[in-house]
Amino acid sequence: MSHPCATRYPLVLVPGMLGFIRLVLFPYWYGIVDALRRGGAVVVAVQVSPLNSSEVRGEQLLLRIEEILRETGAEKVNLIGHSQGSLTARYAAARRPDLVASVTSVAGPNHGSELADYLARHYPHDSAKGRVLAALLWLVGALMSLLETGYRGPKLPVDIPAGHQSLTSEGVALFNQRYPQGLPDTWGGQGAEEVDGVRYYSWSGTLQPGKTDRGRNLFDGTHRSCRLFARTFVREVGHCDGMVGRYSSHLGTVIGDEFPLDHFDIVNQSIGLVGKGAEPIRLFVEHAARLKAAGI
């Protein structure tokens, strides 16, 4: 039997802001974990604080990595992070490169999110509008925590201002000064393929009229949200997935930055409702084969 996804080290999937493992019966990585396991991979979807800084989330991830290594007997893990999960994974790899074989950023705001910048300008944390937004995020997070059925660990801390600041261009710039591994030297370029023994990869998508607004996305409310959020972009207007810009997502070896996928489609959320011709699960399966071929 063929095992195209049987990587040497386990695949650890790290969610983004307001991330989860499973809400009732709905998994964050819809169809992706099953596809990877069918291909022979050892896969673990983890939970970290849904609303907190990338550094706090990264420390939580390091603890979880140590648990996974004890459970599996593996020496290292391959980290795949979506959105803020990519920053979380980058932190863990920078702090403990001996435990990490690779970091893959999937629609990661590696140079910040223009949506986060817009919210910081128009909904500052010390304003009435900012407090209302923070309250709404807290309520959403609390509801999701009640519906979470895939995580059974201790209660995770919440710090909404820190989580928001971690995604702004200013906040990520400070993060990048401390943890620059895999970052491109030039805007829109590729970063180093390997740093301190850790391989770095990334891919992302963009909103594309005629593709992302067709197919099953016609019935997807999160896609409509991404199209609305895209209006906040200035530097990468017309070149974003609704939350993260095309070039802002670059890290290490760039597998692709214009897949017809919005920020939620790229991890096959909304019960797999994606745009015309989009195949997000295939990207993960192909990447597992890529990591296997690299011997990790």
Instruction: From the candidates 164, 223, 239, 263, give the one annotated as an active-site residue.
Output: 263
- For residue 50, pLDDT over 70 is answered with yes
In which element (H, E) is residue 251 found?
none
Contact 21, 28 (CB under 8 A): yes
When the pLDDT of each residue in the chain is averaged and rounded to a whole number, the result is: 97
Question: What's the pLDDT at 111?
Answer: 98
CATH H-level, domain 11-293: superfamily: Alpha/Beta hydrolase fold, catalytic domain (3.40.50.1820)
Q: 68-85, pLDDT tens digit by residue?
A: 999 999 999 999 999 999
Distance CA 148, CA 274 (A): 24
Query: pTM here?
Result: 0.97
Instruction: From the candidates 54, 83, 248, 270, give the one annotated as an active-site residue.
Output: 83
Question: What's the pLDDT at 11?
Answer: 98
Q: Does residue 223 have an active-site annotation?
A: no
Q: What is the DSSP string of 156-220?
A: PP--HHHHHHTTSHHHHHHHHHH--TT--SSTT----SEETTEEEEEEEE---TTTTTSGGGGG-
Q: Does residue 263 have an active-site annotation?
A: yes
Q: 216-230, pLDDT tens digit by residue?
A: 999 999 999 999 999
Question: What's the pLDDT at 87?
Answer: 98
Q: Does residue 53 have an active-site annotation?
A: no
In which band, very low, low, confident or very high, does the pLDDT at 1 lie, cut at 50, 70 and 90? Answer: low
In which band, very low, low, confident or very high, does the pLDDT at 158 lie, cut at 50, 70 and 90? Answer: very high
Closest CA to 50 of 141, 130, 132, 143: 141
Question: What's the pLDDT at 2?
Answer: 76
Q: 185-216, pLDDT tens digit by residue?
A: 999 999 999 999 999 999 999 999 999 999 99
Q: 256-277, pLDDT tens digit by residue?
A: 999 999 999 999 998 999 999 8
Q: Where are the domains of the chain?
A: 11-293
Instruction: From the candidates 117, 213, 241, 257, give the one annotated as an active-site residue.
Output: 241
As given in the structure block, the two tokens for residue 24 are 């009732």
